[in-house]
Chains A and B, each alone.
Chain A
């Protein structure tokens, strides 16, 4: 699976949008971009995933660049409960279940 690069930490004011970047320049055509988050001392929580198109669900939006070499996770209105470590993971598509976690981005939402 392709490697990802994320900033180690970010701050965001409560109520503002949090934009978390991820670089995955070696991503191949059949690899998906997944985002998980881990609140302190809990198991990871799935947020969203995408292949080429931008995706949106009730938690977040995922913007993938046209060349697919980077993506941005957007939390539209960050709350204190969104403080967590966010992991961007590139994973092969059909037939591959394994997730390889990097160091992620520690997002701190500030009151």
Chain B
């Protein structure tokens, strides 16, 4: 149980375009979802936390107008990178927690390359 999926697993886009990444909890209701970013050879950095039906809470230094997060249902959160630039190329990972469950279950990650 407690499976989290991400789609797509990798994406290449051109500079200036927007790309959407989906995060789904497959077998549980995710009351809270987290989005992380990981640059090569670095650790995971939390970008934002979203609760179902509420606006996301962004970490300091993360542009909320550039990284749009929507958590419209208990099984789906999306991260949209708007006007992507090469420096946004990274590994984006989501995680989710269920109601009353403090454990975080991670998705497999999405590799974004902006050319």
Write the residues of chain A forming the contact surface with B, with a CB cutoff of 8 angstroms.
36, 38, 41-46, 87, 93-94, 96-104
Contact = CB atoms under 8 A, between A and B. Distances in A.
Judged by DSSP, the binding face of A is loop
Contact of A98 (B6, B49, B91, B109): B49
Contacts of A41: 91, 109, 111
Given A97-B32, A98-B49, A43 B104 contact: no
Contacts of B106: 36, 43-46
B93 interface: yes
B32 A104 contact: no
Interface of B: 4, 6, 32, 34, 36, 43-46, 49, 91, 93, 95, 97, 102-109, 111
Contacts of B45: 101
Judged by DSSP, the binding face of B is strand
Contacts of A101: 36, 43-45
Contacts of A45: 106
A101 B43 CA distance: 6
A58 to B, nearest CB: 15
A30 to B, nearest CB: 12
28 contacts: A41-B91, A41-B109, A41-B111, A42-B109, A43-B4, A43-B6, A43-B107, A43-B108, A43-B109, A44-B44, A44-B93, A46-B103, A46-B104, A93-B102, A94-B102, A96-B102, A97-B32, A97-B34, A97-B97, A98-B46, A98-B49, A99-B34, A99-B46, A100-B46, A101-B36, A101-B45, A103-B43, A104-B43
